[in-house]
């Protein structure tokens, strides 16, 4: 992410006596320039950068021919190490300040908001797809298999529909995320933006996630035969995908890196198991033939969901608070406010879950539906959280 606005290196409007030959931007982590990376507009309105920007660690620089007197506007866009798109602009003057068309407001905020919304929808769809695809498989392995539940045709078909829907959501999510990032970086103004986004960490992780989703799709036929070995392989695939997810979120900034990736994988897998188990339980409640097994399935599913909840909350707390500079960030920053909203929604989910567990098979179905609705809200908030730059 860029350095804070109050950093002395980020002062805008400064007046210098000698024209600079190089514009250099310094960030607090490695970044990759997108498009030309840095554009510099002279007072006359012409571009004066000489070639595309070049990156060196946490710095991005470009040679310029700033021979004119007056105000220059510098626009920049990069992708950070945790796959966050960043863009901004500032001004400096040579000799004296002057008016410049480049300093007028542009549509950056509108485009960024649209791109952010699209990226959040894409990430939420990915999380939901992961929960449906791998969470339903976890339900088979952790709930149905230990209980020795026989395969009822209608119930079995309904569970496979969940898995297939999950795979479809995983595939559809990736183009939305990529397009959202490209919009945030200004795809309309530079044809190279989309290509550079695909070549960045965003594109790398997108390709890997698509590959894993298609691999699960290819395994569906074997899975539907009831092969225990294929089910184990599919679950291993899900764990690997959870690790890959960590490469495109804030977990990559945790040190040591392995700790961040493992904690993030636990968080993603636990949330997917929790959501998948609740959805599968609702399917089981309505399926013909399993009425007599409801108590056993509900009891086992409740224990699995409770363990998944504890793991998800513990790992999520570790990840989130790694990126806060203090408790004041919870109210002062958008990241902190979204985090508070997510925690509040989790408390609602927990209250509904505890009430339903106490009632067992006598719990009204609407309680499970309420828990599921709140869980979907958690996924949306989680998608927004990983799309926002953290304070730390």
pLDDT in tens, 329-338: 888 888 889 9
Range of the domain at 52: 8-106
- Residue found by looking up tokens 């108590």 in the block: 295
Q: Report pTM.
A: 0.82
pLDDT in tens, 307-352: 898 898 888 888 777 777 777 888 888 888 998 998 888 888 878 7
- Do 96 and 55 sit in the same domain of this protein? yes
The verdict on residue 282 lying in a domain is yes
Phi-psi region of 180 (alpha: psi -120 to 50; beta: other; left: phi over 0): alpha
- Listed residues 78, 106, 134: the one ending a domain: 106
Closest CA to 39 of 59, 53, 29, 60: 53
- Listed residues 106, 139, 168: the one ending a domain: 106
CA gap 348, 352 in Å, rounded: 6
φ, ψ for residue 214, nearest 5 deg: -70, -30
| CATH number of the domain encompassing residue 34 | 2.60.40.1220
- Kind and range of the H or E element at 225? none
Give the DSSP letter string of 258-278: HHHHHHHHHHHHHHHHHHHHH
Question: Which value, to the nearest 10 degrees, does the dihedral of the CA atoms of residues 215, 217, 218, 219 take?
Answer: 90
- Do 185 and 286 sit in the same domain of this protein? yes
- Do 19 and 158 sit in the same domain of this protein? no
The verdict on residue 302 lying in a domain is yes
- Do 27 and 157 sit in the same domain of this protein? no
Closest CA to 138 of 246, 236, 215: 236
Question: Cis (ω within 30 of 0) for the bond into 150?
Answer: no
Closest CA to 306 of 381, 358, 361, 244: 358
The verdict on residue 181 lying in a domain is yes
CA angle, residues 263, 170, 151, in degrees to nearest 5: 90
- Do 180 and 45 sit in the same domain of this protein? no
pLDDT in tens, 179-231: 888 888 776 556 667 777 777 777 888 888 888 889 999 998 888 888 889 99
- Residue found by looking up tokens 């109210």 in the block: 331
Residues 276 and 312: beta-carbon distance below 8 Å: no
- Do 281 and 346 sit in the same domain of this protein? yes
- Do 207 and 328 sit in the same domain of this protein? yes
pLDDT at position 365, please? 63
Share of the chain above pLDDT 90, in %: 17
Average pLDDT rounded to a whole number, residues 286-303 = 79
The verdict on residue 1 lying in a domain is no
- Do 89 and 155 sit in the same domain of this protein? no
- Listed residues 84, 106, 128: the one ending a domain: 106
- Per-residue pLDDT for 173 more than 90? yes
What are residue 349's DSSP bridge partners? none
The verdict on residue 19 lying in a domain is yes
The domain tally of the chain equals 2
Mean pLDDT of the chain: 82
CA gap 32, 54 in Å, rounded: 9
The verdict on residue 296 lying in a domain is yes
Q: Is the dihedral of CA 24, 25, 31, 32 positive or negative?
A: negative
- For residue 129, what pLDDT band results from cuts at 50, 70 and 90? very high
Instruction: Name the DSSP class of 140.
Output: I
- Do 39 and 127 sit in the same domain of this protein? no
Residues 248 and 83: beta-carbon distance below 8 Å: yes
- Do 55 and 172 sit in the same domain of this protein? no
- Do 81 and 209 sit in the same domain of this protein? no
The verdict on residue 3 lying in a domain is no
pLDDT in tens, 133-143: 999 999 999 99
What are residue 33's DSSP bridge partners? 78
The verdict on residue 370 lying in a domain is yes
CA gap 69, 15 in Å, rounded: 10
- Do 214 and 362 sit in the same domain of this protein? yes
pLDDT at position 11, please? 47
- Per-residue pLDDT for 95 more than 60? yes
pLDDT in tens, 145-172: 898 888 777 788 888 999 999 999 999 9
């Amino acid at each position: 992410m860029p350095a804070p606005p109050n950093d002395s290196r980020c002062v805008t409007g400064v007046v210098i006596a000698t024209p600079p030959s190089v514009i250099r931007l310094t960030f607090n982590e490695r970044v990759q320039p997108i498009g030309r990376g840095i554009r510099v507009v002279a007072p006359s309105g012409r571009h004066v950068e000489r070639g595309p920007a070049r990156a060196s660690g946490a710095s991005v620089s470009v040679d310029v021919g700033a021979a004119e007197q007056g105000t220059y506007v510098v626009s920049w866009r990069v992708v950070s190490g945790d796959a966050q798109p960043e863009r901004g602009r500032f001004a400096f003057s040579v000799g004296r300040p002057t008016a410049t068309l480049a300093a007028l407001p542009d549509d950056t905020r509108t485009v960024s908001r649209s791109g952010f919304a699209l990226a959040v929808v894409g990430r939420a769809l990915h999380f939901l797809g992961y929960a449906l695809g791998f969470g339903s498989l976890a339900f088979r392995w952790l709930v149905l298999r230990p209980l020795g539940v026989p395969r009822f045709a209608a119930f079995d078909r309904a569970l496979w529909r969940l898995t297939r829907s999950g795979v479809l959501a995983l595939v559809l999510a990736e183009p939305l995320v990529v397009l959202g990032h490209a919009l945030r970086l200004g795809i309309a103004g530079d044809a190279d933006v989309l290509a550079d986004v695909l070549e960045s960490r965003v594109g790398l992780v997108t390709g890997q996630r698509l590959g894993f989703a298609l691999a699960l799709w290819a395994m569906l036929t074997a899975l539907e035969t009831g092969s225990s070995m294929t089910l184990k392989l599919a679950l291993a695939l899900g764990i690997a995908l959870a690790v890959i997810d960590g490469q495109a979120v804030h977990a990559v900034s945790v040190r040591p890196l392995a700790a961040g990736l493992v904690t993030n994988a636990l968080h993603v897998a636990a949330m997917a198991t929790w959501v998948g188990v609740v959805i599968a339980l609702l399917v089981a409640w309505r399926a013909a033939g399993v009425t007599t097994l409801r108590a056993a399935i509900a009891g086992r599913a409740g224990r699995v969901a409770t363990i998944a909840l504890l793991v998800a909350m513990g790992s999520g707390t570790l990840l989130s608070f790694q990126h806060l500079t203090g408790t004041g960030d919870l109210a002062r920053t958008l990241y902190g406010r979204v985090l508070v909203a997510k925690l509040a929604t989790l408390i609602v989910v927990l209250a509904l879950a505890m009430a339903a567990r106490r009632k067992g098979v006598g719990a009204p179905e609407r309680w499970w539906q309420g828990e599921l609705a709140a869980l979907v809200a958690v996924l949306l908030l989680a998608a927004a959280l990983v799309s926002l730059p953290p304070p730390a």
